[in-house]
Amino acid sequence: MGHDLVRPTGMPGAFASALAAHPGRSLLTYHDGATGEHTELSAEALGQWVARTANLLVRGCGLGVGARAAVLLPPHWQTAAVLLGTWSAGVSVSFHGAATAGLPRLGPGVEEPFDVTYAALPRIDDWLDQVPEAHHRFALGLARDAAPLPEPPAGYRDYLTEVRRHDADLRPYVPLRPDDAASVDGTSYADWGRLARELADLFGLRPDDRVLVDAAEHEHPVKWLLAPLAAGASVVLCANLDSHAVRERGAAERVTRVL
């Protein structure tokens, strides 16, 4: 496979547009009611994580268009970096473990091994029967302050340690076609972009909305990440959200929409 990076198109293009239009704008805020974590990323800051992830795959692992990644991650700001970076490298994705009712997802009979697997450390043991074989395996601890794992599980490398070895430059690019597969079931970048826009319309999202998303209610990334991006909105992603504190959290984050 080629070693050049890929210009985002289709649904990754929504992020590229957000970055180009408002690089300093708060694009993704992550709040965890259980740990107290509060991480706020501008479009530019998230873009640096996205670029480093793409470089990890392309320059570090030698992957590109035609490669396949299995993602076993909950809604989280690091998951956004993984997904957008993986797509920016032209690598198709399988959403293992995500709530995917009625949405495209990996089906039975997909050939293993994958080229890369990302797995959240709290879930690796719970999902052993779902973790596919892969040539490259990265563990994410999802700790506060983006702290690296003290010791990754056997057979895994720590995503944060590895991704920080790569720079935040997303050039040079090679073309990525809208009909290229964005997920391993063959769903294209254009298809995901279309679905994201349809969901944005269904949710009534508008440009410059600040959208509070309950991670437990909207686990699939097309809902908590791609639909807001398609609408030009920013995201306040809340894990372990106290249902009685939604109004308070919304006021603190200047939220205009709640999913």
Confirm whether 203 is domain-assigned: yes
The reported pTM is 0.88
Q: What is the pLDDT of residue 202?
A: 96
Confirm whether 146 is domain-assigned: yes
Confirm whether 166 is domain-assigned: yes
Q: Tell me: the pLDDT tens digits for 66-113?
A: 899 999 899 999 999 999 999 989 899 988 655 444 444 434 345 568
Q: Tell me: the pLDDT tens digits for 8-28?
A: 444 556 566 666 666 778 999
**What is the CA angle 248-98-181, rounded to 5?**
120
Confirm whether 239 is domain-assigned: yes
Confirm whether 241 is domain-assigned: yes
What is the span of the domain harbouring residue 74? 5-100+111-219+234-247
Confirm whether 226 is domain-assigned: no
Overall number of domains in the chain: 1
For residues 21 and 42, is the Cβ–Cβ distance under 8 A?
Answer: no
Q: What long-range pairs does 245-253 form, CB within 8 A, spacing at least 24?
A: 245/33, 246/212, 246/214, 249/31, 249/212, 250/212, 253/29, 253/31, 253/210, 253/212
Q: 177: closest CA among 8, 2, 35?
A: 8
Q: Tell me: the pLDDT tens digits for 121-159?
A: 865 655 555 667 899 999 999 988 899 998 998 889 999
- Per-residue pLDDT band for 7 (boundaries 50, 70, 90) equals very low
For residues 37 and 30, is the Cβ–Cβ distance under 8 A?
Answer: yes
Q: Tell me: the pLDDT tens digits for 175-211?
A: 678 888 888 888 888 888 889 999 999 999 999 899 9
Confirm whether 45 is domain-assigned: yes
Q: What is the pLDDT of residue 8?
A: 42
The CATH number that applies at residue 152 is: 3.40.50.12780
- Per-residue pLDDT band for 257 (boundaries 50, 70, 90) equals very high
Confirm whether 257 is domain-assigned: no
Q: What is the pLDDT of residue 181?
A: 87
